[in-house]
Amino acid sequence: MNDALVLGLITVVSAATPLLLAALGELVVERSGVLNLGVEGMMLAGAVTGFAVTVTTGSATLGIICAMAAGMAMAFTFGVLTLSLMANQVATGLALTIFGIGLSSLVGAGFVGIAIEPLPKLNIPGITTIPVIGPLLFGHDILIYASIALTGGVAWFLKRSRPGMILRAVGESDESAHSIGYDVIRVRYMAVLFGGLMAGLAGAFLSLSYTPLWIENMTAGRGWIALALVVFATWRPWRVLFGAYLFGGVTILQLASQAADWFDVPSQVMSMLPYVATILVLTIISAGPWRTRLNAPACLGKPFRPAS
């Protein structure tokens, strides 16, 4: 393994991390039976809040916390509309994105052109300098480790924990979950808030670590890719990680192949690769002999109101 490859892998991981964080949150939301298409808007709210708070207070930790809170506030709005007022989830999610783009540029107007220090990297003297493994495993910022830990955490939560089982039950059959005494709406609120928290965190990663700056609309469509990755992963956490790294990997590969001048094709065709690759891999997963149950939560997107 040469240095360029190691460096390339590190680039892939950091490109994939915002997608992974946002997608993990949306996965939990969808597993509870709710479809929130407003990820892009919540990410922007997180990005601008994280940046603004970090600049104002000087504390990145506080910035990250406030970014998560901002994502949750957006998600709460979505929850009130769709869970309490039974508004259509798809349309409300899209409206949330329009709202988030406007709100973030309103808040962020005074923060364009300001620079901050990126998040500190995890530097362990003597270890980070070990060839290959050192730079590959260490020396990243804390949110990258957090994203991997969170993947494990979400997987454990959904599969092993009791609240996770309740959440899945609510997503699979809200009526029966209700009839055995679970508060469906409450569970869904929690899930939606968690989705907002994660989208806010993903936004903070963008504006504090990945590219430490604020400019309007800086998410550039990453919220949409995160949504697609949840579907790609057939609603399983480790597959979200795989999907995010695959998408990030193909993106970086196409950039690298342009830089190295490997193929003589228009750059637009190269830029298509990550999207085409995702479709191909999903088709293979869906069609292949190792085909697994598609796993979409049965109640996804359907409103629920307990009949009393």
Partner 1 sequence: MSFKVEKRQELDLRLFYLTPVLAVVLTVLSGFLLFLLMGYDPFLGIYYFFISPLLSSYGLAELGLKASPLILIAVGLAIGFRANVWNIGAEGQLTMGAIAGGGLALALIDVQAFWVLPLICVAGIIGGMAYAAIPAFLKARWDVNEILTSLMLTYVATLFLSTLVFGPWKDPMGFNFPQSEMFAESATLPIVLEGTRLHLGVIVALLVAVTGWVLMTRTIIGFQIRVVGQAPAAAAFAGFSRKRMIWLSLLTSGGLAGLAGLFEVAGPIGQLIPSISPGYGFTAIIVAFLGRLHPIGIIGAGLIMALSYIGGENAQVEAGMPQAVTGVFQGLLLFFLLASDFLARYRIRFEAHTAKRKEALAP
Partner 2 sequence: MSDFNFTRRTFLAGSSAAAVTLGAPLAFGAEQVKVGFVYVGPVGDHGWTHGHDLGRKAVEAKFGDKVKTTFVENVAEGPDSERVIRQLASSGHNLIFTTSFGFMNPTIKVAKQFPKVKFEHATGYKTAPNVSVYNARFHQGRAVIGTIAGHMSKSGVAGYIASFPIPEVVMGINAFTLAAQKVNPDFKTKVVWVNSWYDPGKESDATKTLIDQGADMITQHTDSPAPLQVAENRGVWGFGQASDMKAYAPRAQLTAILDDWSEYYINRVQAVMDGSWKSQNIWYGMKEGMVKIAPYGSEITDAAKAAAEKVRKGITDGSMHAFAGPIKNQEGKEMLPAGQSLTDDKMATMDWYVQGVQS
Rule CB under 8 A: which residues touch partner 2?
A: 4, 7-8, 11, 15, 18, 40, 105, 108-109, 112-115, 118, 206, 210-213, 215-218, 220-222, 224, 251-252, 255-256, 258-261, 267-268, 270-271
85: contact with partner 1 by CB under 8 A: yes
Q: Which among partner 1, partner 2, none contacts residue 95 (Cβ within 5 to 8 A by kind)?
A: partner 1
| CB 89 to partner 1: min, Å | 9
Query: Contacts with partner 1: how many residues (CB under 8 A)?
Result: 44
Q: Which among partner 1, partner 2, none contacts residue 103 (Cβ within 5 to 8 A by kind)?
A: partner 1
Task: Phi first, then psi: give them for residue 178, nearest 5 degrees.
Answer: -65, -40
In the stretch 98-137, what mask flags binding to partner 1 with x, by CB under 8 A?
xxxxxx-xx--x----------------------------
Identity of the residue, 36 or 209, whose beta carbon is nearer to partner 1 in the bound complex: 36
List 121's β-bridge partners, or say none: 141
Report the C-alpha gap between 98 and 101 in whole angstroms.
5
305: contact with partner 1 by CB under 8 A: yes
Identity of the residue, 70 or 218, whose beta carbon is nearer to partner 2 in the bound complex: 218
| CB under 8 A, 24+ apart: contacts of 139-146 | 140/10, 140/13, 140/14, 141/209, 143/17, 143/21, 143/64, 143/119, 143/201, 143/204, 143/205, 143/209, 144/13, 144/14, 144/17, 146/201
Task: Phi first, then psi: give them for residue 133, nearest 5 degrees.
Answer: -65, -40
Q: Which among partner 1, partner 2, none contacts residue 210 (Cβ within 5 to 8 A by kind)?
A: partner 2
Report the C-alpha gap between 185 and 22 in whole angstroms.
22
296: contact with partner 1 by CB under 8 A: yes
> CA-CA distances (angstroms) from residue 49 to 74, 121, 193?
12, 22, 17
Q: Which residues in the 21-50 window bind partner 1 by CB under 8 A?
A: none
